[in-house]
Amino acid sequence: MNRALLTIVAMLAITPAMAQDTTDLVYSIEASASVSPIVSMFQEPRYPGATDELSYGYGGFVQVQWRPGRLVAFGIMTGWAFLAHDELPSNPTIDDEGPVTASATLTAIPLQVFVSMRSEHFKAGLGMGPYLMMSQLESDDVSKGSRFELGLTFVSSYVFPISSTLKIGPELRVLYLDYRGILSIMPSVVLTSTLYEY
């Protein structure tokens, strides 16, 4: 987490050097939404006896940012990510005729502050804050659990204008979660809209 703070400080420190003529700055509020598949790598087993370190899922994220100038923007980010689904062997009961399995899922909701920098087309940013991790185990009954875990979200995108207020393009999103050392990679498509300028 200390490295992330140093990254933000470095980003803000180089802003004056990168800034262009500031005599006619346009301030804006922007929103963006992205969807993608997710490939997640788990440093620790997802369940006892698990041997597969990779899992596959999908997700979507939404950001709202205030851009007080041309380069730096500040805002919040949330969304939903389906990280893992596993079928687990379960002990059969007397009435069961064959093997019994239980279904386990892991999802995450980010609640993060977000800082980004951009040029005309390229944007790179960092989100920091908690993820709400939610697990569910379903067999004869359904058991649910949740906990907050700190995480980092690295984002880079390259967008193309499709109107005066809309842009679209590819995005790469990388999530790192302290919860069992989860690293998730999301090749995304992002749509950005300028909601208000002044």
From 62-76, 79-93, 101-115, the region with the lowest mean pLDDT: 79-93
**Among 5-19, 142-156, 165-179, which stretch is predicted with the lowest mean pLDDT?**
5-19
Ordered structural domains, the chain, with CATH: 2-11+26-89+100-197 (2.40.160.20)
Is pLDDT above 80 for 170?
Answer: yes
Q: How far apart are CA 115 and CA 10, in angstroms?
A: 12
- Give me 105's structure tokens: 């899922």
Task: Tell me what the mean pLDDT of segment 22-40 comes to.
Answer: 86
pTM of the model: 0.78
d(CA 117, CA 114): 10
Token duo for residue 159: 């967008």
In whole angstroms, give the CA distance from residue 117 to residue 124. 6
**pLDDT (average), residues 101-110:** 89
Dihedral in degrees, nearest 10, Cα atoms 3, 74, 188, 86: 60
Q: Which of 112, 144, 145 is nearest to 129 (CA)?
A: 112
Say how many Å lie between the first and final Cα of the chain, rounded: 35
Q: Residue 95 carries which DSSP code?
A: T
What mean pLDDT is predicted for residues 183-190? 96
pLDDT at 3: 57
